[in-house]
Amino acid sequence: MSSPQFPESSPVTDTSSRKSQFTYRHLCQLASFAPSCPLRVVAHIDLDAFYAQCEMVRLGIPEDQPLAVQQWQNLIAVNYPARGFGVGRHCTITDAKKLCPNLVAQHVATWREGDDKWAYREDAAANVASDKVSLDPYRLQSRKILQLIKETLPSNLQRVEKASIDEVFCDLSAQVHSILLERFPELRSPPPHGDLTGRLPRPPVVALNWMADALVDLDEHAESQDPDWDDVAILIGSEIIRDVRGQIREELRYACSAGIANNKLLSKLGSAYKKPNQQTVIRSRAIQHFLSDFKITKIRNFGGKFGDNVTSTFGVDTVRELLPVTLDQMKLKLGDDTGTWVYNTIRGVDHSEVSSRTQIKSMLSAKSFRPAIHTVEQATRWLRIFAADISSRLGEENRRRPRTINLHYRHDGQMKSRQAPIAQGKALNEQLLFDLSRTLLNQILSEGNVWPCMNLSLSVGGFEDSVVGNMGIGGFLVKGEEAQALRSSAKDPGFPILPGRQAAKRRRLDGAGEGIHRFFIRHNTTNDHNASETEDNAKGLEDLVPGDPVTGLRNGNEEKNEADGASSESSECSRCGASFDWPQSLQSHQDWHLAKDLHDEERGQSRATIHPPASARSKGPSGPAPSSKRAGRGGKMEHGQRKLTFGGS
Ligand code: TTP
Ligand code: CA
Ligand code: CA
């Protein structure tokens, strides 16, 4: 007898309740990595205390030995045993030793004038003026790990994106799809009547074995629901990642943590959720529960002023508090696009793709001078080091060859640059790079005053496309000071910023017309800067970013603070309030902010193509270079664009 309370309840309804909520179309989408597929499985892998682990592996140090990696007087990585003593990244070396007398503090390798190779040096910490940090050892390990991940996953079903020196995203969808079909033959049959919108049969009700995964609790209303295919898919993803992590541990002796979810936003939050050496699974039915407790400003793209605006507009702090705000209210306060985007993001919706395009587009070697340098001799010595640095990294790029070389310098508060083509046909070695850089320096000197010079950087760009696929992965990192150079370059009013596509076109044209590029180009007058070069430089910046979520759309406030910070004498970071005993520590910390900004900016841009909040765009996606006004305070950048600020702003 049917219940009078539920007259519509019928055998038909019963049948449909045995159906999955997912359709045959969703299953197809899974095979093709469709970013909007609700069954999608994305993992984020992040190495634990990465530089510290590199040093431990290199030196054969036992796992329980507290160790920190030192850069001048700062700690840039602290292993977990040392963290147990309260040692953290912002400790001075002296404080750290007080907290943990047994601490091993290993200084990073450095380049030193006169040497043609970086080395680990006993006296590096005392030689900040003559040495330049080399992160080559960590890049090398990073590459090995990435390579192993790629070897562990089936070559035809993988999509792996290097997100920073110690992070990768893996879109596991296609592999999960193939395992699903293997394990559940019922999924192999075509949809009844060829109807892709038909619902899949439900998965057999078996207890899912999550092994040692950290499972984020389910949303309250979802606890009683039986598992559906999204749970099974993510479980398979989790098995895959457990295997990958096991391989990394076994073969290379590195521990890492991972997050597994249905998109990048959530998987990245997941990998930081439980550390070290753990993996966290965020099932779709747990997303709300997982996100609710996060502060809004910790969510990707909600950093800086944008996040502040959102929190102050609605008088809220956490995601939980923002959830009751309706879509209409959001649109009303933030505009249609931004409102919709915020509404979705705090609900864990993120359709950004995992992109396996990892080839670098440029390389940059830089040094900030405090105090400034004043002579050609000093500058030339640094050019030697830059040439050696870039040349050694170029060696890892297989047959790819850059077409242009740039010398950037900072004088009188402004970053400027000159560019020259790199003639093809000649062996591209350290000497050629050095000679070209000296020619550029002479050009600059003949045109005006350079001294005192606060920053000097050499970059090569416009790489020819490779014929060897993804061989060049991972050979790139922008250091804090390099990031500063880039950031400053972006501020140079002489650098027009082209939207990505135009820049790409220009790059092709530049290549084609190389024969007539006989003369050195004055960037700040010829408007010929290749914007995509700086964008690509921002890749790998997360190397300098702490484990907190990628945040990001840039804003005027950050820009200002950053400018303040660069010239600040105080020992407090004007952006986050962290205080430092050493000016070098503050500088390095501020470099980190810069690096993070650059990275976030790039991330924000690539995301903006998918979810463009209106306020994040100063103009249409293919509009021309923004003027300082259009991209000014509070304005956000377009895809492929970099914000410009002028003068002392
Ligand atoms: P993170 O992944 O942020 O941190 P981590 O790997 O040291 O520790 P966790 O276990 O929390 O992930 O950074 C990766 C490496 O980047 C780090 O080992 C050192 C470098 N780094 C800096 O050089 N400066 C910085 O300010 C930060 C945050 C990182
Ligand atoms: Ca890490
Ligand atoms: Ca990281």
Question: What pLDDT, on the 0 to 100 scale, is given for residue 471?
Answer: 26
| Neighbouring residues of the ion ligand 3, judged by CB less than 5 Å | 46, 166-167
Taking only the tens place, the pLDDT of each residue in 404-435 is 999 999 999 888 999 999 998 888 999 999 99
Work out the average pLDDT over 118-127: 95
Count structural domains, the chain: 1
Say how many Å lie between the CA of residue 288 and the centre of ligand 1.
Answer: 28
**Which residue's CA is the nearest one to ligand 1's atom 10?**
48
Q: Does the structure show a pLDDT above 80 at 7?
A: no
Taking only the tens place, the pLDDT of each residue in 450-466 is 999 999 999 999 987 64
Work out the average pLDDT over 223-240: 92
Torsion of CA 516, 517, 520, 526, to 10 degrees: 100
Q: Does the structure show a pLDDT above 70 at 568?
A: no
Question: What pLDDT, on the 0 to 100 scale, is given for residue 17?
Answer: 58
Asked if residue 550 has its Cβ within 6 Å of ligand 1, the reply is no
Q: Does the structure show a pLDDT above 90 at 109?
A: yes
Say how many Å lie between the CA of residue 47 and the centre of ligand 1.
Answer: 9
Beta-carbon contacts of 222 under 8 Å, excluding residues fewer than 6 positions away, are 285, 286
Asked if residue 255 has its Cβ within 6 Å of ligand 1, the reply is no
Question: What pLDDT, on the 0 to 100 scale, is given for residue 591?
Answer: 55
Higher pLDDT, 475 or 101: 101
Say how many Å lie between the CA of residue 188 and the centre of ligand 3.
Answer: 39
Nearest to 430 by CA among 393, 464, 466, 465: 393
Helices 136-152, 229-247: inter-axial angle, 10-degree rounding: 130
Asked if residue 545 has its Cβ within 6 Å of ligand 1, the reply is yes
Handedness of CA 476, 373, 524, 436 (dihedral sign): negative
Question: What pLDDT, on the 0 to 100 scale, is given for residue 217?
Answer: 85
Higher pLDDT, 104 or 221: 104
Asked if residue 546 has its Cβ within 6 Å of ligand 1, the reply is yes
Question: What pLDDT, on the 0 to 100 scale, is given for residue 53?
Answer: 98
Question: What pLDDT, on the 0 to 100 scale, is given for residue 329?
Answer: 96
Handedness of CA 317, 557, 546, 636 (dihedral sign): positive
Establish if 601 belongs to a structural domain. Answer: no
Establish if 210 belongs to a structural domain. Answer: yes
Question: What pLDDT, on the 0 to 100 scale, is given for residue 359?
Answer: 65
**Which residue's CA is the nearest one to ligand 1's atom 21?**
544
Three-state SS at 28: helix
Nearest to 463 by CA among 502, 504, 419, 407: 504
Range of the domain at 123: 19-294
Asked if residue 281 has its Cβ within 6 Å of ligand 1, the reply is no
**Which residue's CA is the nearest one to ligand 1's atom 25?**
544
Q: Does the structure show a pLDDT above 50 at 503?
A: no
Say how many Å lie between the CA of residue 539 and the centre of ligand 2.
Answer: 16
Question: What pLDDT, on the 0 to 100 scale, is given for residue 215?
Answer: 84
Work out the average pLDDT over 472-496: 33
For the beta carbon of residue 55, count every other beta carbon within 10 angstroms: 27
Asked if residue 88 has its Cβ within 6 Å of ligand 1, the reply is no
For the beta carbon of residue 412, count every other beta carbon within 10 angstroms: 12
Q: Which of 142-156, 180-194, 565-579 has the lowest mean pLDDT?
A: 565-579
Question: What pLDDT, on the 0 to 100 scale, is given for residue 101?
Answer: 98
Beta-carbon contacts of 155 under 8 Å, excluding residues fewer than 6 positions away, are none
Q: Does the structure show a pLDDT above 50 at 258?
A: yes
Taking only the tens place, the pLDDT of each residue in 78-97 is 999 999 999 999 899 999 99
% residues pLDDT > 90 (the chain):
56
Asked if residue 479 has its Cβ within 6 Å of ligand 1, the reply is no
Asked if residue 369 has its Cβ within 6 Å of ligand 1, the reply is no
Taking only the tens place, the pLDDT of each residue in 377-402 is 999 999 999 998 998 888 776 678 89
Question: What band does 195 get if pLDDT is binned at 50, 70 and 90?
Answer: very high
Establish if 233 belongs to a structural domain. Answer: yes
Say how many Å lie between the CA of residue 358 and the centre of ligand 3.
Answer: 17
Asked if residue 591 has its Cβ within 6 Å of ligand 1, the reply is no
Residue 222 Cα distances to 72, 121, 300, 318, 547, angstroms:
51, 57, 25, 22, 29
Taking only the tens place, the pLDDT of each residue in 511-565 is 332 222 222 223 332 222 222 222 222 222 222 222 222 222 222 222 122 222 2
Question: What band does 439 get if pLDDT is binned at 50, 70 and 90?
Answer: very high
Say how many Å lie between the CA of residue 75 and the centre of ligand 2.
Answer: 14
Establish if 93 belongs to a structural domain. Answer: yes
Say how many Å lie between the CA of residue 45 and the centre of ligand 2.
Answer: 9
Q: Does the structure show a pLDDT above 70 at 18?
A: yes
Question: What pLDDT, on the 0 to 100 scale, is given for residue 277?
Answer: 97
Question: What pLDDT, on the 0 to 100 scale, is given for residue 590?
Answer: 56
Average pLDDT of the residues of the chain: 75
Higher pLDDT, 115 or 628: 115
Higher pLDDT, 253 or 368: 253
Q: Does the structure show a pLDDT above 80 at 107?
A: yes
Asked if residue 51 has its Cβ within 6 Å of ligand 1, the reply is yes
Question: What band does 576 get if pLDDT is binned at 50, 70 and 90?
Answer: low
Q: Does the structure show a pLDDT above 80 at 291?
A: yes
Taking only the tens place, the pLDDT of each residue in 599-644 is 454 444 433 322 323 333 332 222 222 233 333 333 333 232 222 2
Q: How far apart are CA 508 and CA 400, in angstroms?
A: 15
**Which residue's CA is the nearest one to ligand 1's atom 7?**
49
Residue type, 606: S
Asked if residue 80 has its Cβ within 6 Å of ligand 1, the reply is no
Say how many Å lie between the CA of residue 600 and the centre of ligand 3.
Answer: 13
Residue 284 Cα distances to 260, 289, 317, angstroms:
11, 10, 23
Say how many Å lie between the CA of residue 166 and the centre of ligand 1.
Answer: 8
Question: What band does 259 get if pLDDT is binned at 50, 70 and 90?
Answer: very high
Establish if 631 belongs to a structural domain. Answer: no
Pocket test for ligand 1, best of 91, 107, 166, 273 (most atoms within 8 A of CB): 166
Work out the average pLDDT over 133-154: 95
Question: What band does 467 get if pLDDT is binned at 50, 70 and 90?
Answer: very low
Question: What pLDDT, on the 0 to 100 scale, is given for residue 494?
Answer: 27
Establish if 463 belongs to a structural domain. Answer: no
Establish if 181 belongs to a structural domain. Answer: yes
Tell me the CATH number at 129.
Answer: 3.30.70.270
Establish if 279 belongs to a structural domain. Answer: yes
Work out the average pLDDT over 328-340: 95
Work out the average pLDDT over 26-46: 97
Residue type, 140: L
